[in-house]
């Protein structure tokens, strides 16, 4: 029998965002078998194997369609990946609307859920006379900043990075202006204007679904929910959504076999997400810091990139080992393992040998650490990652943050010190205990009577009622 309740999800061609929203879709249909989901996916270029694997792992109650690829040949060859995504989104909007209109005519959609990066879709819900939601794959803290950004823009006259005191965002811990997302570091730039415009569109949403659980950001979520009915959309904490295992069959098991030989909680896992990269100088300092620390490590290494991010995570063009210090691999043999480009992070973080995670504080990676109780060394690179680092270190106190010198480099001595503090120090043990408690709360949130499950079920009941014609 065909499902009566039909939801459309509109994604963006960003691997980390795809992972998050597809995990949400899988959780939704797992809990509510009568809900059917169709994913509409804007594209540019050809999908890499990692992206294909995400879609091929979806259950039968989730359909997906890839829109015709957007031609980006008119853009300069060295265009930043973020701009490529923005152009793809803008050029895909007519295609998205047509796809939604066709889908609505044949299945009567009860809701459209679009990724937070593509808030231009929100007005389509009103045009099609259906509910329209934003899926927000980051923190409630960032959401609060987004929703109050216009107010902050009117009340603060200087550049945020020049503020002498930490900023007060409603419901959030204080944060220095230098730790705000990249678009807010230059208020005269195009990115800042686009940031404000996108945030204003959030107010068109019938609700905002946040990939976090109530107990992790209780004060922030409560503050947002108290403003419902006074302009701010309803906020639903329904996470955490993380991958349960690798989507790639036959993924490399070398690192897992190596971990099997290591002592319990003795290894630091080092990775900067699905595409983050470091400069050559920073790779050198990180390597020498790992060596100096004397601790075990498993490092996913990528070559430098001028943007600090690899657009095509499936591309393995350059040998990253040539950027390591001479003799580093030989000197750390047995104690450390360097893996080029990619490793199965979900499986690695679940291994008994992992005692810490040096990461960029991307939200997917952060939640993967939380649900496995792995303490963090925060090394933010771009986007909202510095905000996430502030939440983890100052708010939840489950991470140590590296200090950057005046040239923007984390020096080897700093690397060694923070690793030792986390893996064998007293401070690290206190952080580990707090993270273990947070792991338990995250697990509870996804139980049948947990806060996230109850919230998602309430939404599902609302959508089911609409499909049956119940107001």
Decide: 271 and 398 in contact? Cβ < 8 Å: no
List of domains in the chain:
5-239+447-467 (3.40.50.2000), 254-443 (3.40.50.2000)
Overall residue count recorded for the chain in this entry = 471
Reading across the β-sheet that carries 267-270, which strands appear in turn?
336-340, 296-301, 267-270, 354-359, 376-378, 399-401
C-alpha of 181 from chain center: 14
Q: Is the peptide bond before 62 cis (omega within 30 degrees of 0)?
A: no
> What is the DSSP-derived secondary structure letter of residue 216?
G
The more confident residue out of 3 and 336 is 336
Residues marked as catalytic: 17, 115
Ramachandran region of residue 341, left (φ > 0), alpha (ψ -120 to 50) or beta? left
State which H helix or E strand residue 38 sits in.
strand 35-41
Q: Which residues of 172-196 are buried (b: 16+ CB within 10 A; e: fewer)?
A: bbebebebbbbbbbebeeebbeebb
Task: Give the CB-side neighbour count of residue 129, counting CA atoms within 13 A.
Answer: 4
- Whether the pLDDT of residue 422 is over 90: the answer is yes
Q: What integer best gives the mean pLDDT of the chain?
A: 93
> How confident is the model at residue 225, as a pLDDT?
95
Claim: this prediction has a pTM higher than 0.85 = yes
Residue 47: predicted pLDDT: 66
Do 345 and 368 contact (CB within 8 A), yes or no? yes
Cα–Cα distance measured from residue 258 to residue 254, given in angstroms and rounded to the nearest whole number: 6
Cα 418 from Cα 400, distance rounded (Å): 7
What is the number of other CB atoms lying within 10 angstroms of the CB of residue 316?
14
Whole-number Cα distances in Å, 124 to 202, 208, 292, 462: 13, 16, 55, 20
Q: What is the mean pLDDT of residues 373-388?
A: 97
Q: Taking 50 as the threshold, does the pLDDT of residue 1 lie above it?
A: no
Collapsing DSSP to helix, strand or coil, 389 comes out as helix
Is residue 377 within 8 A of residue 400, CB to CB? The reply is: yes
So what's the pLDDT on residue 25? 97
Q: Are 174 and 168 in contact (CB under 8 A)?
A: yes
Q: What is the pLDDT of residue 313?
A: 53
Question: Sign of the CA dihedral 439, 391, 172, 199?
Answer: negative
pLDDT at residue 253 tops 50: yes
Q: Which of 400, 402, 418 is nearest to 410 (CA)?
A: 402
Q: Is the pLDDT of residue 308 over 80?
A: no
From edge to edge, which strands make up the β-sheet containing 207-210? Answer: 62-66, 35-41, 5-10, 111-115, 131-136, 207-210, 235-237
How confident is the model at residue 164, as a pLDDT?
94
- Return the pLDDT at 79: 87
CA 384 – CA 175 distance, rounded (Å):
12
What pLDDT shows up at residue 304? 93
Helices in 7-80 by DSSP H: which ranges? 15-31, 49-56
Mean per-residue pLDDT, 280-286: 97
pLDDT at res. 74: 87
What was the pLDDT predicted at 252? 64
Lowest mean pLDDT among 48-52, 269-273, 427-431: 48-52
Stretch 161-188: mean pLDDT: 96
pLDDT class of 470 with cuts at 50, 70, 90: low
Q: Is the pLDDT of residue 471 over 70?
A: no
H helix count then E strand count, the chain: 17, 13
Q: Give the residue-averaged pLDDT of 336-364.
A: 95
Residue 467's pLDDT is 78
Number of other residues whose CB lies within 10 A of the CB of residue 429: 14
């Amino acid at each position: 029998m065909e499902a009566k309740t039909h939801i459309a999800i509109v994604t963006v061609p960003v691997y980390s965002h795809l992972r998050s929203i597809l995990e949400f879709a899988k959780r939704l249909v797992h809990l509510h078998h009568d809900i059917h989901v169709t994913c509409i996916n804007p594209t540019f270029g050809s999908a890499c194997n990692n992206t294909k694997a995400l879609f091929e792992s979806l259950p039968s109650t989730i359909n997906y369609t890839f829109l015709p690829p957007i031609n980006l040949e008119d853009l300069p060859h060295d265009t930043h990946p973020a701009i490529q995504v923005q152009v793809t989104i803008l050029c895909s909007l007519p295609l998205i609307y047509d796809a939604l209109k066709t889908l609505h005519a044949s299945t009567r959609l009860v809701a459209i859920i679009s990724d937070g990066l593509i808030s231009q879709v929100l007005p389509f819900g009103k045009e099609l006379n259906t509910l329209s939601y934003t899926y927000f794959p980051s923190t409630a803290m960032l959401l609060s900043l987004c929703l109050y950004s216009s107010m902050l823009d009117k009340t603060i006259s200087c550049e945020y990075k020049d503020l002498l005191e930490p900023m007060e965002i409603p419901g959030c811990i204080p944060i220095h202006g230098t730790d705000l997302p990249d678009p807010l570091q230059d208020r005269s730039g195009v990115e800042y204007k686009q940031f404000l415009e996108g945030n204003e569109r959030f107010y068109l949403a019938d609700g905002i679904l946040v990939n976090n659980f109530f107990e992790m950001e209780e004060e922030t979520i409560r503050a947002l929910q108290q403003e419902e009915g006074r302009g701010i959309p309803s906020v639903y904490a329904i996470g955490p959504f993380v991958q349960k295992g690798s989507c790639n069959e036959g993924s490399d098991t070398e690192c897992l076999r190596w971990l099997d030989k290591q002592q319990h909680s003795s290894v630091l896992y080092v990775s900067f997400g699905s595409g983050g990269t470091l400069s050559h100088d920073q790779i050198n300092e990180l390597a020498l810091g790992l060596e100096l620390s004397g601790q075990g490590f498993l490092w996913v290494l990528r070559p430098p990139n001028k943007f600090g991010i690899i657009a095509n995570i499936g591309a393995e063009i350059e040998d990253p080992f040539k950027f390591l210090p001479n003799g580093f691999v030989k000197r750390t043999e047995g104690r450390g393992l360097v893996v080029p480009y990619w490793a199965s992070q979900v499986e690695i973080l679940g291994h008994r040998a992992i005692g810490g995670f040096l990461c960029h504080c991307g939200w997917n990676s952060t939640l993967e650490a939380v649900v496995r109780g792995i303490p963090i060394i925060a090394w933010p690179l771009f986007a909202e990652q510095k905000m996430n680092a502030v939440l983890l270190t100052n708010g939840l106190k489950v991470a140590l943050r590296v200090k950057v010198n005046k040239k923007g480099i984390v020096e080897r001595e700093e690397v060694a010190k923070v690793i030792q503090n986390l893996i064998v120090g007293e401070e690290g043990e206190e952080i580990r205990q707090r993270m273990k408690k947070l792991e338990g709360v995250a697990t509870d949130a996804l139980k049948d009577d947990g806060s996230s499950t109850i919230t998602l079920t309430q939404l599902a009941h609302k959508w089911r009622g609409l499909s049956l014609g119940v107001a």
